Chains A and B, each alone.
Chain A
């Protein structure tokens, strides 16, 4: 049972670089989410999607972009990385607002 899989698990970026965090789920969930969690803090919603072709901004979308071309995949793009984007990123999915399932997290450091 793969569930929600996100890659990479760890990444160090230089200021100004770009990268994509990959996320895929095999549960046929319609809802997918990207959160960031800063040290000792709660989760902040970056973007979410209620289905293929539909994305919406969350609480902290600036500096990020997403796409949802398929039900399974929901990549998060960081453009022009900044130190403020150093965080742990969690992808998650759910079906119509039922239990949300999280990936294992991606630790990103921008130096």
Chain B
């Protein structure tokens, strides 16, 4: 079946550190891939997306590349800020559904 596995948190980093949050998926067909972010007390909002192999999604300094050969969509940022503290969700879309990972909580300390 379809599923997604995300790196477990919580993750705590110092400001300006490098961030990687791993995401791998199992899906039939050719899914579109998304990263969503949830700030405290809010709903989820789109961070970035990629719709075909080798596409790189990017936004607010975050990047993720669609790797079909490894079925992965790892999220990276070169220098995190305190304002990046949030929960991050990886979500492939296939078969009329979004499959959300369990979320990875990130806390960035000054």
Most chain A beta-carbon neighbours within 10 Å: one of B34, B46, B98: B98
Contacts of A2 in B (CB 8 A): none
Q: Contact size class for B?
A: 10 to 19
Contacts of A102 in B (CB 8 A): 43-45
Report how far A31 CA is from B91 CA in the complex, Å: 16
B77 interface residue (CB < 8 Å to A): no
Within 8 A of A (CB), among B31-53: 32, 34, 36, 42-46, 49
Contacts of A43 in B (CB 8 A): 44, 89, 100, 103
A-B contact count (CB 8 A): 50
Contacts of B46 in A (CB 8 A): 99-101
For chain B, what secondary structure do more than half of its interface residues adopt (helix, strand, loop), or is it mixed? strand
Report how far A90 CA is from B44 CA in the complex, Å: 9
Report how far A56 CA is from B97 CA in the complex, Å: 10
Contacts of A97 in B (CB 8 A): 32, 93, 96, 98
A41 interface residue (CB < 8 Å to B): yes
B77 to chain A, nearest CB (A): 20
Q: Contact size class for A?
A: 20 to 34
A47 to chain B, nearest CB (A): 11
A66 interface residue (CB < 8 Å to B): no
Contacts of B89 in A (CB 8 A): 42-43
Report how far A71 CA is from B42 CA in the complex, Å: 25
B83 to chain A, nearest CB (A): 20
Query: A residues touching B (Cβ–Cβ < 8 Å)?
Result: 31, 33, 35, 41-43, 45, 48, 50, 56, 58, 90, 92, 94, 97-105
